[in-house]
Structure 1
């Protein structure tokens, strides 16, 4: 008796479609990558479960019955749907669209990225941006964000992406406190009050520099934000290291020393491997990479920003 309670699986439809396309069991087995006896056995099991033959056996090959044609039609629709989903995930849509969640930090957003996001929206109006500000790395595996824009020397191995630029850091002070320009003696700098970033940003080389070279009693102010550090320097609370893209954007600040290569950090565009071919992710990362390439000398502290 037929087993009416047995649900057909996708593999059952694939097998029936392969037999219809190949016309013989050995050829169908080759298409499916299994052996001939397995195809014969599974076809028998499917027909027994349905209680009706799906093919008539002729000398020229297997010809579908009416029931078989119905099952083949469903299999082909399913195959078309799978192919369509695969194309979308491979980023082959003509017009990328939908919401894209991007995580970055406040200093990059304010001093670098917002004009680029505006240009992207003008170029791709069907992609809506949801910007999440966070200094800690969000979990892209859980879809807390689709793309992360981070300054780091060690991007997570679970993510993929590209290095877009190198962010230079230098020592800055309030220009009004240095009327004669930067002091020529480093001893003078170490005798001044310093501003340091909080320990939760301890992976930054600028934080390690202060820990290694500045006496604890000279650290007059700590703040857990790079933007907060820039504000503190601008208000005369002390001197401190800043990304050049922030320091140079503030006329009240003075660069006290050339950018220190040991303090630099790479700027990365990152996403989860499962998302890298999604159209909205691919077009966003390609766009940002191209725009950031135009600003590399500015980001590396070699020249002022001339416009984004």
Structure 2
């Protein structure tokens, strides 16, 4: 009678990493082990199971049906582990420990750091891991516990509250007031930002050859406008705060967004998350006129 293979969670992680990264070298680097260890362990797993988990091709490692089955099991196990972590975090007895918060870099620098400073005074047993990122992180996998995001359509799998509208307008350098906007070059957010709607806004207002620079961050866009590279759209709470910039018109309705404070449903009742979200909302709601371009 054949003995059952003795599989561990690390075996499933290895198979998942190899499948997702297409080979042993990148998988080993991702897992923090050397290539020979990964090679030896994969051979042991396949020997124990009596099947090949991957076809070794010149282009990389391709999962066999057995490999696909193990990969699916690994994904379910990873989801269970992440769910357990959220459940434990949700049952903390007091607002103490670490909370991971993500927001756009410009928002972190201009508005969120003072809020966090006051939060830590009120809750000295808390620690904040701040992740300044333009893209959305996976709150289901606990890449972050709380997200503060500009969005017109927040993910359906998250919960939270709308804090404010976010107005955008076109800005230029304040010392170029006599120059006509239609005679200036433009700077723009890249096509990869917000589904390309800001890039489309700029394209509709000038010729392609007059778009001098594209960037993937609002911080970079503000610096580009301030440097005189061109005019461009900015959130009003960013542009209005810069004395060297001026609005070139009213807020643009088609660029209107919303500011959301979001978390995963499994975390919303945890004391750490609830303490931060309540505090952040209390601090940010009075800034609504600034976000909406009215202050």
TM-score, normalised by the number of residues in structure 2: 0.67
How large is the Cα RMSD of the aligned pairs?
2.0
Give the Cα separation in 1 of the matches to 2:277 and 2:253.
26
Q: Please state if 1:264 is matched with 2:265.
A: no
Identify which range, 230-239 or 255-264, moves more after superposition.
255-264
Corresponding residue for residue 226 of structure 2? 234
Q: Give the alignment of 1:40-59 within 5 angstroms.
A: none
Q: Does 1:295 find its partner at 2:287? A: yes
Residue 221 of structure 1 is matched in structure 2 by 213
Per-residue CA deviations over 1:91-134 (Å, capped at 9, x if unaligned) read 7x4x3111000111101111221111111111111110000111
The aligned residue for residue 201 of structure 1 is 193
1:250 to 225, 231, 242: 242
Residue 62 (structure 2) aligns with: none
Q: Counterparts of 1:1-308 in structure 2 under 5 Å?
A: 89=90, 93=93, 95-178=94-177, 180=178, 188-203=180-195, 205-303=197-295
- Displacement after TM superposition at 1:88 (Å): 7.7
Looking at structure 1, the residues matched to 248 and 227 of structure 2 have their Cα atoms a distance apart, in angstroms, of: 16
In the alignment, is the contact (CA less than 8 A) between 2:190 and 2:196 conserved in 1?
A: no
Deviation at 1:214, TM superposition (A): 2.3
User: Structure 1 106/258 Cα, relative in aligned 2: closer, same or farther at 3 Å?
Assistant: same
Distance in 1, Cα, partners of 2:142 & 2:129: 13
Q: Report the equivalent of 1:20.
A: none
- Give 4+ residue runs of structure 1 displaced > 6 Å after superposition: none
Q: 1:270 to 1:88 in 2, by over 3 A?
A: closer
> Residue 60 of structure 2 aligns with which residue?
none
- 1:206-230 CA-to-partner distances (Å, cap 9, x unmatched) read 3331133322111011111111111
Per the alignment, in what secondary structure is the counterpart of residue 163 of structure 1?
strand
- 2:236 and 2:123 map into 1 onto residues whose CA distance is 30
Deviation, 1:288, is 0.8
Q: Deviations over 1:242-278 (max 9, x none)?
A: 0111111111111111112321210111111111111
Can you give the 5+ residue segments of structure 2 that lack an aligned partner in the other structure? 1-86
Count residues with an aligned counterpart: 210
Q: Secondary structure at the match of 1:143?
A: coil
Distance 2:89 2:102 in 1: 23
Q: Distance in 2 between matches of 1:115 and 1:87?
A: 29
Q: Check conservation: 1:153, 1:265, Cα contact below 8 A.
A: yes
Name the CA shift for 1:223/1:254 in 2 (closer, same or farther; >3 Å): same
In 1: Cα distance, 2:155 partner to 2:122 partner? 30
TM-score, reference length from structure 1 = 0.64
| Unpaired stretches in structure 1, ≥5 consecutive residues | 1-85, 304-308
1:202/1:208 contact within 8 Å kept: no
